[in-house]
Structure 1
Amino acid sequence: MVDIGFRYLSGRVNKLVFVVFVVILFYTLSLFIVPLTLEPGTVEGLDGAANRIVHREEWEDLPYYHRAIYLFSDLNCHQKHERSYSLNGNQMPVCARDVGIFIGFSLGFLLMSFVRGARNLKDILLDTMNLDTSISEIKKTIILIILGAAFTLPLILDGSIQLISDYESFNAFRTFTGLLFGFGFSVFISGIILSSSPFEDY
């Protein structure tokens, strides 16, 4: 047992959650590697829409690795240049908020790779936050609702207010709200995986 203040962290790795972590980490690192390894000015001034490929022609002349990352990101992100970071004179494959989300995913899945499974979902989530699990089920639910709101509401409010008003967020805050959401969401998804399967099976 690795004692770093969390009661249910273990020196063993939950292989299923760890595989998810590795895949997410590869993509997250690629978001930085790709613009840094292209000639400056290769990708800039993008302005698209989420959930559809808008800039297919932009990626045709890129190396295969770079093309794959930008193409996948094109499908999942609006890629608006004013809401994105640039590295080495190239726009990153996703917007500032999505950068935070994927960093949060990576951190959350890494942490949860070391959490024991085969327990109640609420207990797993409370243990992950180093909170007491001996309280009543109602209190557990209330605490988890509060924690869920803390991780998700900043992103929801920032994005919604920006959508319906003249308010314009800034990239550092977009990244911060994305990181909170990504971490909270990945911990929740990992908790579902862990609660349905015993740790020893991995």
Structure 2
Amino acid sequence: MGHDQAQHGGKFAWSELDIFSAFVYGFGDLNCHQKHERSWVINENQMPVCTRDIGIFAGIFVGGLIFRKRGLNRWTIRDSIISVLPDEKVEPFYFNDRRFLLAFGGIALLLLPTALDGGIQAVSDYESTNIKRLITGFPMGVGVGLLFAGVFAANPKPFEFDAGRVILPANARLVPSVEPTDDKISEIATQTETDTTAGDSEE
């Protein structure tokens, strides 16, 4: 550790490290290119991930904290993600039913700095700097953190699977994508009654 291993260290041996360090660097091996020129060296040790990944992981942590502080379970992923924003600010999106655009469009905007910085670097002679990688990686991490938090938080079970119990901004309500008609309800009731009668006859 502590130098450009491709030039000076040869193959890296996890067995030379303690269990904790081996796990951390093993995680880095699986998730990052670990290029020396794109990584920080602290206390003569190259970090297990590059500076962009440090920004991303820091952003994921902050995104999780934001959701823990302000986020709510609102049944759907999109509404749960939006819950981190003040209700009065998002009411227009509920009036116009543009919640999907707000939730996932907002996350896409947070990913944009990394996409531009990394994408331009990949297809041109442009070379980013470690500070730029850190700064552009952070908002991406926040977006990923909010997305994961929304995915894990969205759960209909606490509402007893009754969408009408969900409280949304602008007094909006969740409704089933397909509402049963009166004829369909009658058909279901008749079928249930028939099945019950048949069961009684068999007894």
* TM-score of the two chains, using structure 1 as the length reference: 0.66
Q: Residues 68-83 of structure 1 correspond to what in structure 2 (within 5 A)?
A: 68-83=23-38
Residues 1:127 and 2:49 aligned together: no
Q: Quick check: which has more Rg, 1 or 2?
A: 2
Give the CA RMSD over aligned residues.
Answer: 2.6
How many percent of aligned residue pairs carry the same amino acid?
33
User: What is the distance in 2 between the residues matched to 1:46 and 1:106?
Assistant: 30
Give the distance between the partners of 1:116 and 1:190, measured in 2 at CA.
Answer: 10
- The one-letter amino acid paired with 2:90 is D
Name the stretch that deviates more: 95-104 or 187-196: 187-196
Structure 1 residue 144: deviation in Å?
3.1
| 1:113-124 to 2 correspondences below 5 Å | 113-114=68-69, 115-124=71-80
Structure 1: runs of 5+ lacking an equivalent? 1-41, 48-54
Q: Which residue of 2 aligns with 1:4?
A: none
Q: Residues 82-135 of structure 1, C-alpha deviation per residue, up to 9 Å, x if partnerless?
A: 001111121111000100111111111222234221433332222213332463
**Secondary structure of 1:78's aligned partner:** coil
| Aligned twin of 2:142 | 183
Gapped regions of structure 2 (runs ≥ 5): 161-203
Q: Looking at both structures, which has the greater relative contact order when contacts are Cα pairs under 8 Å and sequence separation is at least 6?
A: 1
Counterparts of 2:22 and 2:5 in 1: how far apart (Å)? 15
CA distance in 2, matches of 1:191, 1:154: 22
Distance 2:156 2:42 in 1: 41
TM-score normalized with structure 2 length: 0.66
The whole-number CA distance in structure 2 between the counterparts of 1:73 and 1:165 is 26
Read off the aligned partner of 1:82 and give its amino acid letter: E
Structure (1/2) with the larger helix percentage: 2
1:60 to 7, 15, 23: 15
Please tell me whether the aligned partners of residues 124 and 191 of structure 1 are also in contact (alpha carbons under 8 angstroms). Answer: yes
CA distance in 1: counterparts of 2:11 and 2:27, whole angstroms:
10
Distance across 1 between alignment mates of 2:98 and 2:158: 26
Partners of 1:118 and 1:137 lie apart in 2 by 18
| Residues 54-98 of structure 1, C-alpha deviations (whole Å, 9 max, x = no match) | x86343312221111111211211100100111112111100010
User: Aligned pairs, how many?
Assistant: 154
Label 1:166 to 1:132 Cα distance change in 2 as closer, same or farther (>3 A): same
